[in-house]
Structure 1
Amino acid sequence: MKPAIFATLLTSVLALSPQLSYADAANGPDYQTQAFDSAERTFPLFYEKLKERMPFSMGWEKNQLTPEQWRTQGLEKARELLLPYQDNTPFNPLVIDEVDRGSYVAQKVVFNISDESRVLALMLVPKGDGPFPAALFLHDHGSKFDIGKEKFVKTWNDEARLASSQAWADKFFSGKYPGDELAKRGYVVLSIDALGWGDRSVPEFATNSQQALASNLFNLGTSFAGIIALEDVRASEFLASQPKVDKTRVASIGFSMGAFRSWQLAALSDSITASIVDCWMGTMKGLMVPGNNQLKGQSAFSMLHPYIARYLDYPDIASLAAPKPMLVYAGGQDKLFPVDAVKSAFSTMHAVWKANNVEDKLQTKIWEDKGHTFTEDMQKESFDWLDKQFGL
C-alpha cells in the first residue's frame, strides 16, 4: 500500500474513533529500554510476573486429596519430570581394592550405575555377618570438582585427593569424614561421584563445562539434574542390594547440594527408608532472590528440573517422602537459604507429616549460630537421631 493511501485510511479511522490517538494505535510511546534487573542482571525485568505464574498446581496446600492419594499422584508427576528414564541394568559390582580400618573395611568398588556409566565408589563395610543399617552419602557442589565421594569418605593411595578432601573436611565437617564416623557406628556406607565430580570430572569444570554440559544434556532430551537424580536412585538400589545390608534400614545423607539430593531421593526411591538433610531447603519463590546460587548459570543446573514449578514446590517434593523419617537442618547464618524461605518450607513439610499422623517422624531445626556447614555437633545429633529411627 502506498504511504499516502495508508495515511488517509489511518486518518479516517482516527476520525471515526475520537478516543484513539496515534500513540494508542501503537500501544503507547513507551517501550523496554533495558532487559534485566539492575542489581544482578540475572532476572528479566518482568520476572515478578513470571513468579506469579508459578502455579505449583499439585502442591500440598492446593490439594483436596487424602495424604495417600496426594503422594501417589505427586510421585507419578515427580518421577515423570525428575527422572529421564527407568534403568534396570545389572550392577555387576567388583571390589578392586580395600583397607582394614579396625571395626570396618574400606573398599573401592566398581559397578554399573546406569546403562551408560560404570563408576568407582567408596564403600565402608562393618566387620561381622550383619545385616547392618546403611547410608548413602551424597556430596555437595561446592564448586570443587576434583573430589566428590572423597568429601564424605576418607580415601587412600591417592595423596592429592586425600589432601584435598582433608582440607574440605576441615572447612565444613570439623575435620571429620562423616561417612567414616557413621561406619564406626556399624553402618554400611556408600559414597559416589555425581557426574562432574571426582573421577567423573574434567579440568576447569567450575568455570566452563557445567553450563555446556547442561546445555548438551538438554539437547539430548534430558537434564543435568535428571541424570544426577537417576543415578542417586540407582545407587540407593545398589546399596540396598548388598548382602550385609538390612533393606529396611537404608538412609540417604547429604550436605548442601547433597541435601537437595537427599530429600529428593527419599521421595523418589523406595530403597531409602530415612533421610538426613543438611543445609538445603526452602521454597522456590523464597530462594528466588538476587545473588542466590540457585539462580546462577553454572552451579544451578545440577539442581534445576525443567517445568517442575508448574506442579510441585521444593518442600512438596521432599514431603512426598512422608511418612518416612526425615531430619532437616538449616543454618541461621546461612546466606544461601533465607530463614523466611526455610521456615515456610518447614511449615509445609510439617503439615504433610502431620496429615500422615507421623509428625514425630519429621524433625526440623534451624541452628541459629551456624552457617553453611555440617559440624561435629550437627553430625553427632543427626546420627543419634538416625540410630533412634533404626532402633539402634
Structure 2
Amino acid sequence: MEWNPDEYLRKLYETRSQTLDFKAKTADQWKEWRTELREKFVDALGGFGDMYSKPEATVIERVEYDDYIRERIELRTADSLVMPTYLLLPKGRQGKLPVVVGCHGHGYGSKSAVGLLPDGSEANDDPNVHRKFGIALVRRGFAVVIPELIGFGDRKLENEAVVNRDSNSCFPISVYLMMLGKTTAGIRIQETMAAIGYAAEREELDASRIGIFGLSGGGLVAAFTAALDERIRAAVVSCYTNTFLDSILYRRHCIDNYIPGILRYAEMPDLVGLIAPRPLFIEAGQRDELFPLHGTEKAIARLQQIYGVADAAEGLDYHLFPGGHEICGDRSYAWLERQLQVQS
C-alpha cells in the first residue's frame, strides 16, 4: 500500500550521506579517518568528560571458592552515580594477572555472568545465554571485571525495581538521556572506562594486558569501548557485530542500541573497525535472529578491509558457531589467552 512509509525509509537509508564510511587506501588515510570518526562518534554518544576516570572504590563483599575469589565492589563513577562491579581473581597464579572486562547483555545483569541468580544465590546448572563466562575466564587465569551496566539488575530506576522487576530500565533511562543530548551507550562506555581505570590501579593486576569481552548489548559496550580506549589490548565481541541496517533497523530492538544521528557518519562495521590495529575476535551464532548471520558476514568483510589497510590483517579473527544468540567461547577464550599471554 502506498500509504505505508516503507519505501520512504528505504530511500532515506540508501541516499544518506555517510561522510566517514571507510574508503582509505593507505595507512595515512586510515589514520586520518580513524581520528575524525572517533571525534564524531563521541559527539553522537553525547560527549565524554563528566565521569570519573579513576572512580572511588569500596569493597562490599568477598567470597572464596576453591579456585577463585569473588569480590563485589562499589565504584563511584560520577556525582550521584555508583556502579556495583564484580571482580573475580584466580587462585594460585604467580605475578600480575591479565585482565578481562566482561560486559553482560540483556537479562538480570552482572550476576548472570558470575554464576548467580537474581537474588544472589548460586545458579548451579541454571541455563543462561551468558554461560557463566566470568567463571570460565577466571578459571583460565584471567582477573575478570564485570560492571553492572546502568539499567540492569541492581541498577534499574527505583520505581522500576518494584513494578518492572523482571525486565530492565533501558527505555526510561534512554529517552531521559536523549532529551538531554546523551545516550545510554555513552554512559555505559564511560562507566566501563572507569572500571578499566580501577583495574589499572590494583597492584595484582597488569594494566598492560587488559582485554574486553561482551555479549549482545554488552557486545556493543565492549566493541565501542575498545574503539575509543587504547588501554584495551584485545577485544572479543559476541553476537553483536553486524550492520545497523540488518539488525537494529530490521526489527524491534531495545532502545539502548540506538545512537541518534550516527548513520550520518558511518555504519556499525566502521565503528567497530576503530579498534584496529589492535586484535579483534568476532563470535556469532549462525542461527542468531537478533543479529542475523548475513549482516555479520557483511561486517566481517568490511572489517577485513579496514584491518588490511591498517596492516593488521592477522589481528582479526572470527568464529561463526552453530548456535543462536548466546556466548560460545569454544575459540574466543583461547584466543584471549594468546593475546593477553596467560601463563599456564
- The answer for the alignment partner of 1:245 in structure 2 is 205
TM-score if structure 2 supplies the norm length? 0.88
- The answer for the alignment partner of 1:131 in structure 2 is 96
Tell me how far apart the structure 1 counterparts of residues 141 and 330 of structure 2 sit (CA, whole Å): 14
Q: Which moved more, 1:125-134 or 1:382-391?
A: 125-134
* Larger strand fraction of residues: 2
Deviation at 1:271, TM superposition (A): 2.1
Q: Label 1:180 to 1:207 Cα distance change in 2 as closer, same or farther (>3 A).
A: closer
Tell me how far apart the structure 1 counterparts of residues 124 and 68 of structure 2 sit (CA, whole Å): 20
Q: Label 1:272 to 1:83 Cα distance change in 2 as closer, same or farther (>3 A).
A: farther
Kindly report the root-mean-square deviation, in angstroms, between the aligned alpha carbons of the 2 structures: 2.5
TM-score if structure 1 supplies the norm length? 0.78
Q: Which moved more, 1:216-225 or 1:306-315?
A: 216-225
Check whether the contact 2:153–2:168 (CA below 8 A) recurs between aligned residues.
no
Check whether the contact 1:108–1:120 (CA below 8 A) recurs between aligned residues.
yes
Q: Label 1:89 to 1:248 Cα distance change in 2 as closer, same or farther (>3 A).
A: closer
Check whether the contact 1:89–1:115 (CA below 8 A) recurs between aligned residues.
no
Check whether the contact 1:93–1:111 (CA below 8 A) recurs between aligned residues.
yes
Check whether the contact 2:44–2:259 (CA below 8 A) recurs between aligned residues.
yes
5+ residue gaps, structure 2: none
Counterparts of 1:162-241 in structure 2 under 5 Å? 162=121, 170-173=127-130, 176-201=131-156, 202=161, 203-204=163-164, 209-241=169-201
SS at match of 1:170: coil
Matched AA of 1:186: G
Check whether the contact 2:87–2:146 (CA below 8 A) recurs between aligned residues.
yes
Alignment of 1:98 with 2:59, yes or no, is no
**Residue 295 of structure 2, aligned match among 318, 338, 341:** 341
Alignment of 1:61 with 2:20, yes or no, is no
Identity %: 24
Tell me how far apart the structure 2 counterparts of residues 288 and 389 of structure 1 sit (CA, whole Å): 31
**Residue 244 of structure 2, aligned match among 269, 284, 290:** 284
Check whether the contact 2:53–2:193 (CA below 8 A) recurs between aligned residues.
no
Matched AA of 1:139: H
Deviation at 1:260, TM superposition (A): 1.6
SS at match of 2:78: coil
Alignment of 1:74 with 2:22, yes or no, is no
Check whether the contact 1:254–1:278 (CA below 8 A) recurs between aligned residues.
yes
- The answer for the alignment partner of 1:373 in structure 2 is 326
Matched AA of 2:66: G
Alignment of 1:47 with 2:4, yes or no, is no
Q: Label 1:100 to 1:278 Cα distance change in 2 as closer, same or farther (>3 A).
A: same
5+ residue gaps, structure 1: 1-31, 38-44
- The answer for the alignment partner of 1:263 in structure 2 is 223
Tell me how far apart the structure 1 counterparts of residues 134 and 179 of structure 2 sit (CA, whole Å): 36
Check whether the contact 2:56–2:77 (CA below 8 A) recurs between aligned residues.
no
Matched AA of 2:132: Y
Deviation at 1:154, TM superposition (A): 2.9
Check whether the contact 1:84–1:227 (CA below 8 A) recurs between aligned residues.
no
- The answer for the alignment partner of 2:48 in structure 1 is 85
SS at match of 1:379: coil
Tell me how far apart the structure 1 counterparts of residues 133 and 128 of structure 2 sit (CA, whole Å): 13
* Larger helix fraction of residues: 1
Deviation at 1:89, TM superposition (A): 5.4
The count of residues paired between Structure 1 and Structure 2 equals 334
Matched AA of 1:162: S
- The answer for the alignment partner of 1:151 in structure 2 is 112
Deviation at 1:53, TM superposition (A): 3.2
Q: Label 1:208 to 1:349 Cα distance change in 2 as closer, same or farther (>3 A).
A: closer
Tell me how far apart the structure 1 counterparts of residues 45 and 120 of structure 2 sit (CA, whole Å): 31
Deviation at 1:363, TM superposition (A): 0.3
C-alpha distance after superposition, 1:256-299 (max 9, x if no partner): 11112111111011221111111111112233664x233xxxx1
- The answer for the alignment partner of 1:389 in structure 2 is 339
Check whether the contact 1:125–1:183 (CA below 8 A) recurs between aligned residues.
yes
SS at match of 2:237: strand
Q: Label 1:182 to 1:232 Cα distance change in 2 as closer, same or farther (>3 A).
A: same
Matched AA of 2:21: G
